Amino acid sequence: MDFRNEKIGIIGAARSGLASALALKRLGAKPFLSELKPAEKFAEAAAALKANGIEHEFGGHTNRLFGSELLIISPGVPANSEVVKRALERDLKIITELELGFQLCRGKTLAITGSNGKTTTTSLIGEIFRHSNVKGVVAGNIGRPFVSVAGDIGEKDWAILEVSTFQLEWIDTFKPKVAAVLNITPDHLDRHGTMENYIELKLKVFANQNGTDKSVINADDRYLKKFTNVSETFRFSTSEKIEQGCFIDRDIVYLRQHGDSVPIINIAEIGIKGPHNLSNACAAAACCAAAGIDNAAIATGLKAFKGVEHRLEPVRLIGGVSFINDSKATNVDAVYWALRSVLYPVILIAGGRDKQGDFGSLRELVRSRVKDIVLIGEAAPKIAAAFKDITAIHDAGSMADAIDQAYALAKPGGTVLLSPGCASFDMFDNFEHRGKVFKEAVMQLKENRP
């Protein structure tokens, strides 16, 4: 699209909003960024906007925003927010930064979504591409906005994108050459309202595909088992053989296409550990096969990749106790897999802003693996109610307090696990900030116990 001289409003000054404003300015558009929160919350963004001559406002959305020809909405702005309602009343077209990036990108797009494992799988795919002869650029919800790199991706290159329901909410022409849904479990119900709405938004990643595209589906997921799409379908499974895609048989990962099953790697050689990561590895292999990456590069990438920050990240072994940072676990299902993946007995640090998760589904796992739970944040009372009859509950006023209590409660050979099961926004800027604070506090611990 030609954006020259177009008046384009941008709602939100976080990473994607700022990246959109800068990209549009370079394209000759007339961006105007509007942010509800005060400028003090976005000092770096405000400085960048001023330095680049981009007009903006902080502390509220004035009518000037609605004089735009197009609105680009940040993922953090809900569809039922007042500013969106006002825009729709004026029949303004709304898109996300993901859609803008797609319209600016000349290369092919591989999009990964799902309730859990998106960041790990997206990063793993990026590692596999790195060992191939095909250039892949990792971006999206993983931290680097798509729009900030879209213009540099050549026709033969791939954009490897982690995408969320927040980003998919306002897509228009977004059409990945390969699109994957890793799994679907309850998440973001505080925003999307019902499970049906949430599932519909996840599957929207396939909405614009046709017969020349590829879809990648988790054959083990109860919501996805029977899903069909007009695109060519690859499936992945850790429990059954499948007709096309990736599966595990007798500890060997196989890729199957056109009736031929080819062994790729023994699961013991895969760099990321844990039962959930077998599924992530199969998903990554299926996505890369769908994108035409050769088997040797897939095997090498699976061996080389060791995981991502804030997802079951080992931080420190002190006094015989392992500290694990799983701040990326922002829903209940992620906590389930974390508890299954670490040494027990576990001292679990959990809590934050509730996303309407069902913590009761963890009761049996908590009963068998968790010695104590230390709670932080707004959801502490809800989590305490779910587990107070089966394990000891402790309240903490801060992350540092939670770590001190957890270390005092832990025994040598056990684990202190930060796996919140909640959003971070009640106490932290984001899950990365929460994980960083956790790691810094753990590194301050002294070997001698209280």
Alpha carbons 338 and 332: distance in angstroms, whole number? 10
pLDDT of residue 60: 95
Instruction: Look at residue 450 and tell me whether its pLDDT is greater than 60.
Output: no
Mean pLDDT within 164-173: 92
Average pLDDT score over residue span 178-191: 86
Residue 323 tokens read as: 């500290």
Q: What value does the mean pLDDT take over residues 190-203?
A: 87
pLDDT attached to residue 27: 95
Q: In what order do the strands lie in the sheet with 94-96?
A: 55-58, 30-35, 7-11, 70-73, 94-96
What per-residue confidence (pLDDT) applies to 449?
61
pLDDT value at residue 228? 87
pTM for the predicted model, two decimal places: 0.82
Give residue 164's Cα distance to chain centre.
Answer: 7
Q: Is the pLDDT of residue 92 over 60?
A: yes
Tell me the average pLDDT across 295-302: 98
pLDDT above 60 for 447: yes
Could you report the per-residue pLDDT of 388-400, keeping only the tens digit for each? 999 999 999 999 9
Structure tokens at 145: 């906005």
Reported as a pLDDT band with limits 50, 70 and 90, residue 448 is low
CA distances from 417 to 229, 314, 406 (A): 39, 10, 9
State which H helix or E strand residue 381 sits in: helix 380-387
Helix, strand, coil percentages in the chain from 3-state DSSP, rounded to 5: 35, 25, 40
Give the helix/strand (H/E) hosting 263.
Answer: strand 260-266
Q: What local confidence, expressed as pLDDT, does residue 432 receive? A: 93
Which residue intervals of 39-117 are DSSP H helices? 43-51, 82-89, 97-104
Write down the H helix ranges in 204-294. 275-290
Q: Which of 396, 344, 394, 388 is nearest to 365 (CA)?
A: 344
Q: What is the pLDDT of residues 338-380, one digit of tens each?
A: 998 888 899 999 999 999 889 999 999 999 999 999 999 999 9
Beta pairing partners, 34: 11, 57
For 12-39, the pLDDT digits (tens) are 999 999 999 999 999 999 999 999 999 9
Model confidence band, residue 79 (pLDDT cutoffs 50, 70, 90): confident
User: What pLDDT does 44 receive?
Assistant: 92
- Domains for the chain: give ranges and CATH numbers: 7-92 (3.40.50.720), 102-304 (3.40.1190.10), 313-443 (3.90.190.20)
Q: How far apart are CA 310 and CA 301, in angstroms?
A: 20
* Model pLDDT, residue 412: 92
Report the alpha-carbon distance of residue 153 to residue 98 in Å, rounded.
15
Mean pLDDT of 277-288: 97
Least Cα distance to 381 among 411, 351, 409 occurs for: 351
Instruction: With CA atoms as reference, report the closest residue to 283 among 178, 171, 188, 159.
Output: 178
Kindly report the CA angle at 334 between 330 and 339, in degrees rounded to 5?
Answer: 125
Which pLDDT score is estimated for 254?
98
Q: Give 192's pLDDT tier (boundaries 50, 70, 90).
A: confident
Can you give the pLDDT at residue 282?
98
Kindly report, residue by residue over 39-54, the tens digit of the pLDDT.
999 999 999 999 999 9
Q: Are 368 and 438 a contacting pair, CB within 8 Å?
A: no
pLDDT at 36: 94
Region 136-164: what's the mean pLDDT? Answer: 95
Identity of residue 318: I
pLDDT mean across residues, the chain: 94
What percent of the chain shows pLDDT beyond 90? 85
Torsion 103-104-108-113 (CA) sign = negative
Residue 1 confidence (pLDDT) above 60:
yes
Q: Which helix (H) or strand (E) holds 333?
A: helix 332-341
Task: Name 348's bridge partners.
Answer: 373, 417
pLDDT value at residue 273 = 84
117-146 pLDDT, tens digit each: 999 999 999 999 999 999 999 999 887 999
Q: Is the pLDDT of residue 190 over 80?
A: no
Q: What is the mean pLDDT of residues 379-385?
A: 97
Q: What is the pLDDT of residue 167?
A: 92
